[in-house]
A and B are shown apart, each in its own frame.
Chain A
């Protein structure tokens, strides 16, 4: 597979911090793949996503390099779309949904307001929002959390970027909505042949979805590889722990089958 980006020795230290948030990362991102970056809080997974997207805050020191095969770094908003965890914070509350979905296309593609509006409506339809014409005129607070995240995805994809970074894009949503959004992301990315960087704390969510996984812990890359290989035969002890601490409906319960006091009064 062709590398879209070769990352070597990447370290990031935030302003005022002594220790790096991310250190010595070597990782290739392949064109057209779904790569899941998996880690708990403090693992550096969001820092990695932001470094890649050029979205680090001012004063952050970056060492090492990211070599993009295309020659230059992707332009955020145009070549690279970003979906954040909390659509309530990432969407502008005073712009209509249509305005913000079309805004990037106006700026980066030089579309007129009218053309940007038509594109926005088309994008809202693509993310399967009901009645796109009407939704385009709504404000973010008039939508549900799941609908707002669909709007954020529509905005991120409006310029037709080659790469989408989704940073915990479903973790503020309830599970039913999460499943819908993950399916939507998979369909959209697949249809457009885009590269997807899927940042998550949930190894199970990634397991059913990603081509490759990279496990991060405390600012370091623990291991990376094809999803099935890593999950079936994890090399790092930490990956084994993550797999073992996963809980789903088949995991044995922590309680005994009957409540203690009920058991006490039963004959």
Chain B
């Protein structure tokens, strides 16, 4: 079942005249992870922002959950946003620095009317538990938790609204390897439990190799290659994909 499909998306930023997206089409099934890889400046973050309606495309169309996603605006768009969440690389930048963990998690529950006021504390505790954090974290300042814990909180906030799709933009790139592995495991488990689809943006193919069913390679605003993860990694066809495969550091033991 196709959850998201985009046709011929193009975006040119004003001023520099740089073409960030140049005719991008893609599709994503329910419960599937599409890895989006590319070098800096390839347009992958712009694509993530266009799909989440943080940036409007110049042309093209997007269908999400059976609706014309670009035709939505105002209250109907805000309501539908519950179904498409986003997790960024810099979670501290994405949160109000004076917020507590509880307020970060209560916001989506309140805004989308998911949980009545009296039950929100319990819902927050359940969300924290789901991402592997103790309920006592609710009272902490968002600044007083480690980077890995903050990324768990960002994931808890994203799943609070029962999304069908989460767009992850370099969501594990700033984490230490041991922490990163735990976050990847959490994301995979949540997907298996809830059938969430992920659009997983990363410049690191080794991360996508762990979690993506399919990979799309971007270069200069276009998708230059797409295919099942194992095929793209074992037999990359485009120069951009070959460069990304080559660039992953191998652990040289002997």
Contact = CB atoms under 8 A, between A and B. Distances in A.
A joins B in a complex = yes
Interface of A: 40-41, 144-146, 173-179, 201-205, 207-208, 227-228, 231-232, 241-243, 245-251, 253-255, 257-262, 265
Contacts of B178: 40, 241-242, 245
B29 interface: yes
Contact of A260 (B184, B191, B254): B191
Contact of A261 (B1, B233, B248): B1
A255 B31 CA distance: 12
Given A249-B206, A261-B31, A261-B195, A179 B252 contact: no
13 contacts: A145-B40, A175-B248, A177-B40, A202-B249, A207-B253, A227-B252, A232-B254, A247-B177, A249-B209, A259-B213, A261-B29, A261-B32, A262-B32
Interface in B225-251: 229-230, 233, 243-251
Nearest to B178: A245
Contact of B247 (A40, A176, A242): A176
B254 A228 contact: yes
Given A41-B147, A202-B249, A254-B185, A259 B207 contact: no
B33 A259 contact: yes
B114 interface: no
Interface residues of B, number: 46
Given A175-B203, A177-B39, A243-B251, A249 B29 contact: no
Chain A CB within 10 Å, residue with most, of B29, B229, B247, B254: B247
Contact of B32 (A179, A227, A259): A259
B246 A204 contact: no
Contacts of A204: 249-252
A144 B249 contact: no
B204 interface: yes
Nearest to A248: B206
B184 A254 contact: yes
Contacts of B254: 228, 232
